[in-house]
Structure 1
Amino acid sequence: MDQILRFEAHAFGRPYHAARVRIPARARDTELHTHADFHEFMGVVSGSGEHLLTKGVAPLRAGDVVLVRPSDRHAVRGAAPDGLEFVNVAFPSSIWQGFLDLTRTATWSSRGPISFHQPAAVPIFEHALDRFQDVPTAYDLLRFWIDLLDLLTPGDPGGSGVPDWLAKACTSMRAEENLRGGVPRLLELAGVSAAHLSRSMRAAYGVTPTAFVTDLRLEHAASLLAATNTTIATVATRCGFTSQSYFTRCFTTAHDLTPSEFRHRSQRAFVP
């Protein structure tokens, strides 16, 4: 079964966690896993390898930056001749979402991890790692995000840009009261026709409005299951699902675990 990792099991009260990871060529792949309550950026420093995803394999090379979300199942392997070296920076999803709301930054939502090629980002990862080895503060995490996002086009790996109205609407959808309203609420926030919203979302994020909302709902549900003792029925309602059975089917399809199994494993990951 996949590992489900929790932030506090690694950060021990610090605002973020950073580590240098080296995976030699021909070494065993890292274990396929998901995150209970945190996002992470991977910055490839040197070498090459592969990112193993639920729906296939993506190449990794020096200068690549990958954002991995709680809903993403992934593992990594090194390639010949030099293997793969990357710096990993992980942080609580709740703080990341607050940063996106505060800065009205695009939500970076897409099916599967989001990748960029930006070699100039490597020093930013190295600095975050240096600060983590000292006494990291919340300011260090904010500086990492700001410096990194200055180099990347928010929410649009292709570089075509995201309309401001769409970025604002998608960011606002992270609020629970909006999430419960689903696609109709997204349409209200966007202030455009259903057809225009659909075309714009496909161009900017590669997903339909329905898939976008479902991803946000499942991401929020995973956080609630991992961090609260709220009943599964209540989690389903808070996230906007019409019934507990429908929520369970959607969640199980996304995670290969039922909501109950996900909660059990995330709590076990939190308490050694």
Structure 2
Amino acid sequence: MEQILRFEAHAFGRPYHAARVRIAARARDTELHTHADFHEFMGVVSGCGEHLLTTGVEVLRPGDVVLVRPSDRHAIRGSAPDGLEFINVAFPSSIWQGFLDLTRTPTWSSRGPISVHQPAAVPVFERALDRFQGSPTTYDLIRFWTDLLELLRPDEAAAPGVPDWLAKACTAMRAEANLRAGVPRLLELAGVSPAHLSRSMRAAYGITPTAFVTDLRLEHAASLLAATNTPIATIATTCGFTSQSYFTRCFTTNHTLTPTAFRHHSQRAFVP
């Protein structure tokens, strides 16, 4: 059964978790898995490897930075001759979203993990790891984000040429009130016609407005299932689904687990 990894089991109250990971050639670090309630940045330090995704395989090389979201299914494998070395920085999704909202940083929207090649980012990961060895604070996590995003400029890295109005509308849609309102609210935030929004989202992100909103709703639902004891019916309503049965169908299709099973397994998961 697919692993669902959970932040709290390894962070032990710390604001983030950082580790240096070395994977031998042709060895797989983890089975295909998702995250219950956290995002992570991976910074490749040396060697080469493969990022195994449900959509295919991406080559990893020194200087690559990868953002993995809770809903992304992935695993890492080392390649010959030297395997792969990377630094992993994981943090709660709720804090990450708060940072994006506070700084008005355009969200990275993509159907899968997002990769950017930026060798200058490696020292940023090294510093985050050094701070983690002591008594890391939330300030250390924020400093990691600001230093990294200064190099990556996510509004351009996610998809070159994404209109500013679209990036801002997509970021705003993560608010619960907007998620409940759905595509009509996305149209309102974007301030364009339905046809123009659809064309722009397909060109920028390769996704329809309806699929984009559904992805956000399922991502938020996964976080609520993993981090709270809120009844499933309430979570369905909170995230904008018209009924619990429809929510269950969508969630099970996306995660290959029912909401109840996802909640059960996420409570037993761990961060490697």
TM-score exceeds 0.5: yes
TM-score (norm 1): 0.95
Is the contact made by 2:21 and 2:88 (CA closer than 8 Å) also made in structure 1?
yes
Could you tell which deviates more after superposition, 54-63 or 196-205?
196-205
Alignment match, 1:172? 172
How far is 1:205 from its partner? 2.3
- Unaligned 5+ residue runs, structure 2? none
How far is 1:26 from its partner? 2.4
Matches of 1:213 and 1:128, distance apart in 2? 33
Matches of 1:134 and 1:169, distance apart in 2? 39
**Structure 2 letter corresponding to 1:17:** H
In the alignment, structure 1 residue 125 sits paired with structure 2 residue 160:
no
Is the contact made by 1:104 and 1:167 (CA closer than 8 Å) also made in structure 2?
no
Is the contact made by 1:109 and 1:155 (CA closer than 8 Å) also made in structure 2?
no
Is the contact made by 2:68 and 2:113 (CA closer than 8 Å) also made in structure 1?
yes
Percent identity between matched residues is 85
Is the contact made by 1:156 and 1:205 (CA closer than 8 Å) also made in structure 2?
no
Alignment match, 2:104? 104
**Structure 2 letter corresponding to 1:22:** R
Alignment match, 2:222? 222
Per-residue CA deviation, residues 89-125 of structure 1 (Å, 9 max, x unaligned), is: 0000000000111111111121110111111111111
Per-residue CA deviation, residues 73-100 of structure 1 (Å, 9 max, x unaligned), is: 1100000001000000000000000011
Matches of 2:153 and 2:68, distance apart in 1? 16
Could you tell which deviates more after superposition, 134-143 or 22-31?
22-31
SS in structure 2 of the partner of residue 211 of structure 1: helix
Is the contact made by 1:52 and 1:74 (CA closer than 8 Å) also made in structure 2?
yes
SS in structure 1 of the partner of residue 192 of structure 2: coil
Alignment match, 1:265? 265
Alignment match, 1:66? 66
Matches of 1:169 and 1:188, distance apart in 2? 9
Per-residue CA deviation, residues 41-77 of structure 1 (Å, 9 max, x unaligned), is: 0000011110111121111111111000000111000
Alignment match, 2:77? 77
**Structure 1 letter corresponding to 2:120:** A
Per-residue CA deviation, residues 143-189 of structure 1 (Å, 9 max, x unaligned), is: 11111111113144366243222222111111111100111110001
Is the contact made by 2:28 and 2:76 (CA closer than 8 Å) also made in structure 1?
no
**Structure 2 letter corresponding to 1:132:** F
Alignment match, 1:37? 37
Matches of 1:146 and 1:131, distance apart in 2? 15
Is the contact made by 1:153 and 1:159 (CA closer than 8 Å) also made in structure 2?
no
**Structure 2 letter corresponding to 1:174:** R
TM-score (norm 2): 0.95
SS in structure 1 of the partner of residue 248 of structure 2: helix
Alignment match, 2:240? 240
Matches of 2:105 and 2:9, distance apart in 1? 29
Is the contact made by 2:53 and 2:73 (CA closer than 8 Å) also made in structure 1?
yes
Matches of 2:267 and 2:170, distance apart in 1? 30
Describe the shift of the 1:143–1:161 C-alpha distance in structure 2 as closer, same or farther (beyond 3 A): farther
Matches of 1:158 and 1:33, distance apart in 2? 23
How far is 1:134 from its partner? 1.4
Matches of 1:158 and 1:110, distance apart in 2? 7
Matches of 1:29 and 1:148, distance apart in 2? 25
Q: How many residues align?
A: 270
Matches of 1:131 and 1:219, distance apart in 2? 29
**Structure 2 letter corresponding to 1:45:** V
In the alignment, structure 1 residue 6 sits paired with structure 2 residue 6:
yes
- Unaligned 5+ residue runs, structure 1? none
Matches of 2:147 and 2:206, distance apart in 1? 25
Alignment RMSD: 1.4
Matches of 1:159 and 1:254, distance apart in 2? 23
How far is 1:27 from its partner? 2.1
Per-residue CA deviation, residues 222-250 of structure 1 (Å, 9 max, x unaligned), is: 01111111121111111111121221111
Matches of 2:69 and 2:36, distance apart in 1? 9
**Structure 1 letter corresponding to 2:48:** S
SS in structure 2 of the partner of residue 268 of structure 1: coil
